[in-house]
Amino acid sequence: MLSHYPRYRAVAAQGLAHKLGGLPWGLPVARWPVCAECGRPMSHLLQAPGPAADEASPALPLRADEVLYAFKCEWDSICSFWEEDGGANAVFTVPRAELADGPTAPPAHAEDGAPEILPELVVADWRIADDGAPAELESAFYDYGLHDGLPDEIAHPHDWASEWRTKFGGVPYWTANGAQGVPAGRLLLQIDNWVQLEDGGGAEVANFCSDGTAYIFVDRAQEPAVYTMIINR
């Protein structure tokens, strides 16, 4: 199945862009999520505009008038940011009409100050390639037992190589632990803890339990659509 694989550039984004980390562009500060476990503001992880923002970007199943944001707790309290329903991560969309024209600074916690600002990595270009999963086996990638029974050349067609582990679309490219704790819906995108830079190097994204991968799913059987994130390692 086709997936879009980004390479990143370590620069500050100018305007609304596909990026990791940094400050979210235009997000109403009232929408900045707070961790349900420790009560502190989360760190901005990802910003992905709907397809109209950049014709070269992948055709994510987002409306042209909305922007996807993802956050996770990065405080040393080690909240359960890897769980879909623990309240230590958040994924949601915001209509473009509600965005301000500039980056949003995070709110500060009364005692501990502002959350960590993750390194800003802007998508430099996209590579479109087959992820190695036959379309007729898509459902197996959402079931632990079925996925575990697939031949290695289908379940892990690229031998866990880093350049294949951050992508938009296709099926989940699971870690060695397989399809555990899969939320409802289908994969929207996934982010490895290290991503490829356009110069051939790499950059660490965030605390994903040392060597994990973040997976964001969308459940369009619900109205409005529900977005969830897990981290698998």
Confirm if 193 and 208 have CB atoms less than 8 A apart.
yes
Look at residue 160 in the predicted model and tell me its pLDDT. Answer: 85
CATH code for position 226 = 2.30.320.10
Tell me which residue range forms the domain holding 62. Answer: 2-232
Look at residue 14 in the predicted model and tell me its pLDDT. Answer: 87
pTM, rounded to two decimals: 0.95
Domain total in the chain: 1
Per-residue pLDDT of the chain (233 residues; tens, 9 = 90+): 999 999 999 999 989 999 999 999 999 999 999 999 999 999 999 999 987 645 556 657 788 889 999 999 999 988 999 999 999 999 999 999 999 999 999 999 999 999 999 999 999 999 999 999 999 999 999 999 999 999 999 999 888 888 999 999 999 999 999 999 999 999 999 999 999 999 999 999 999 998 999 999 999 999 999 999 999 99
Give the integer Cα–Cα distance in Å for 93 and 227. 9
Confirm if 49 and 86 have CB atoms less than 8 A apart.
no
Strand partners, 109: 113
